[in-house]
A and B are shown apart, each in its own frame.
Chain A
Amino acid sequence: MSPWNREFFKTRPIESGRHPTLLRGKAPRTRMGHPGSFLVRCVLLSISDSERAVCAILPGMSAVASPVQQTTPRHSAVVRWTHWLTVIAFIALVITGGELVISHPRFYWGETGNVNMKPLFTIHIPSSRDTVPTGYGYVMPDQNGWSRYLHFEAAWLAVITGVVYGIAGFWTGHFRKDLLPAAGERSWRDYWLAFRGRRARDDAGARSYNVVQRTVYLGVIFVLFPLVIWTGLALSPGFNAVLPFFVDVLGGRQSARTLHFFVSDLLVVFLVVHIVMIALAGFWSRMREMITGGVGADVVVGKERV
């Protein structure tokens, strides 16, 4: 059995197989009027945990009734909001970060590094500066100005969002309940079974992440994100004046820059795998869960309107 089988990626099998549309991971039909009301609805759904309740508040909107009522959402409102804010910040950071690398696609180790010094490695792409020897006969357009502005603004958004998420995560028990591997599920065998998609599922496990997913999420949240913020701050001459050890323990400024690049790469790898897994598990149903919380819209049999 391949680890890429669909079962592995399913965090929650659909209990009722009577609705063919849902099995293909499509959102249930809802009747909506004006496009503006769709926007209002999205905002309301993002703060409310119940689609039905929103429909009750806003006349003229309706949702498909759900015979299987779930009282808790798949993702809490805090998780959903911080997730999408992080998505916005991360995309901006990756694009602008890549843009900044183009102005000097050489990496060094230690405190200093410049074109007169031997690099640790070079990315063989053209540069946006003609002072960098790249072997290409042309220079890329310089986009560093807005890239720098946006990179640091997006970094603030990511950090503030991360702080809110972190505090809420401990406060609500989100990390303990949803992400920490369960007590009886921490052996190598458990990891292997989960990875092979052979994890036996019971009712309790059907709505939650398996041990591999939990470990990866914890690693991204508590290792990669703190590291990328740390190595990024170590590149700030103003911040280094305040807290010199931030850059000194990393072995110097150029080491910090190289580490920042590698940690960012790992986060991009995570993003790609994350999206692939969501696509395999049912892209639109997973998106719906992360936007609305997914309460009451999961198992739909009837067509009555509320």
Chain B
Amino acid sequence: MSPISRRKLLTGGAVTVAGVAGLAAADRIARRYGLIPPDGGGVYGPGETLTYAAQRVMGKHALAREFPRGMISKSPFMNEVAPHNDEFKRHQAVNFRDWTLTVDGMVAGPLSLSVEDLRALGTRSQITEVVCEEGWSYVAEWIGTPVEAVLREAGTLPQVRYIVYTAMEKDGWDSLDMADALHPQTLLTWGMNDGDLPVGFGGPLRMRVPRQLGYKSVKYVMRLTATDSMKGIGKGLGSAAAEGGYAWYSGI
């Protein structure tokens, strides 16, 4: 009996060593190809990394489902919004005509764009579903300027890996990797269902990232910052949501 069992022990040991070596190699490859999310450390890191890496490998350029016009929800749910601060109320009082989007960080030429300037850079619309992490959803037409067009105008440097976007609301900031930032459906949205984007749905300017959950589509965006690393930005986890315990990558 014992020789067989010893062999089994040795086999088990070899499998364990091979497994550890394989994991170490996978970790190196994942780092090399940028497949580890900013919140990829800690006890939930392995699961997050697997999800993020799997989706980036399977379909970096895949398009979110778009729907026919007839499927636009008649009763979309805007979700609750924290009370607006005084600065937002001042903008609201003049119908957001002075709202500007600042583009800075690792770009050849920093920009300061009004919503009119954004429209001039390019317009695209998509009928996609807003999917809240709580479980509810609705379909709407979103009209805006591709983030890619804005980044092209500013000229992002080659080493840029993340685009950080900041809202006027307190603790409203998040970031996208370049796959999502340059994705054709990722829009700086200023219109919804053939009208202006209502304040409740994020007007005057909302980031729409239809391949991820709703909380990635931050409302009241006023700044884009290009960076090569999330280190030193907040706690380095990639978003205010991640600092609050919610995954940075919400393509799930």
Residues of A within 8 A of B (CB): 44, 47-50, 52-54, 56-57, 100-101, 103-104, 106, 111-117, 129-132, 144-146, 148-150, 152-156, 235-242, 244, 247-248, 253-254, 257
A-B contact pairs, 6 of them (CB 8 A): A111-B139, A113-B137, A153-B47, A237-B212, A239-B251, A253-B129
Output the least CB separation between B212 and chain A (Å).
6
Q: Which residues of A contact B132 (CB under 8 A)?
A: 104, 114
Q: In the assembly, what is the distance between CA of A306 and CA of B105, in Å?
A: 72
CA distance A57 to B62 in the complex (A): 55
Given contacts A53-B1, A242-B58, A242-B62, are A152 and B252 in contact (CB under 8 A)? yes
Residues of A within 8 A of B2 (CB): 53, 56-57
Kindly report which residue of chain B lies nearest to residue A146, judged by CB atoms: B245
If A114-B137, A149-B48, A156-B51 touch, does A48 touch B211 (CB 8 Å cutoff)?
no
Contact check, A47 vs B247: say whether CB atoms are below 8 A apart.
no
- Distance A145 CA – B212 CA, assembled complex (angstroms): 15
Inter-chain contact B133/A148, CB cutoff 8 Å: yes
Main secondary structure of the interface of A (DSSP, over half): helix
**A237 to B64, Cβ gap below 8 A?**
yes
Report the minimum CB–CB distance from A208 to chain B (whole Å).
24
Nearest-neighbour CB distance to chain A for B241, whole angstroms, equals: 8
| Residue pair A113, B136 in contact (C-beta under 8 Å) | yes
Residues of B within 8 A of A (CB): 1-2, 4-6, 8-9, 12, 44, 46-48, 50-51, 55, 58-59, 62-65, 67, 71, 73, 75-77, 79-80, 129, 131-139, 210-213, 244-247, 250-252
Number of A-B contacts (CB under 8 A): 151
Who on chain B is nearest to A107 by CB? Answer: B135
Q: When the two chains form the complex, which single residue of B135, B139, B252 contacts A104, counting CB atoms closer than 8 Å?
A: B135
- Going nearest first, the 9 A-B pairs with the smallest beta carbon separation are A238-B251, A153-B47, A145-B245, A53-B5, A242-B59, A116-B75, A149-B44, A114-B136, A114-B77
CB distance A48 to B134 under 8 Å? no
Q: A122 CA to B98 CA in the complex, in Å?
A: 45
A153 and B46 form a contact (CB under 8 A): yes
When chains A and B are docked, how far (Å) is the Cα of A126 from the Cα of B15? 48
* Option from A49, A145, A154 in Cβ contact (under 8 Å) with B246: A145
Given the complex of chains A and B, what is the CA–CA distance between A130 and B59 in angstroms? 36
Residues of B within 8 A of A50 (CB): 1, 4-5
Is the pair B9, A48 in contact by a Cβ cutoff of 8 Å?
Answer: yes
Measured CA separation A106–B134 after assembly (Å)? 10
Q: Is the CB of B129 within 8 A of A241?
A: no
**CB–CB A156/B47 < 8 A:** yes
Task: Give min CB distance, A84 to chain B, whole Å.
Answer: 16
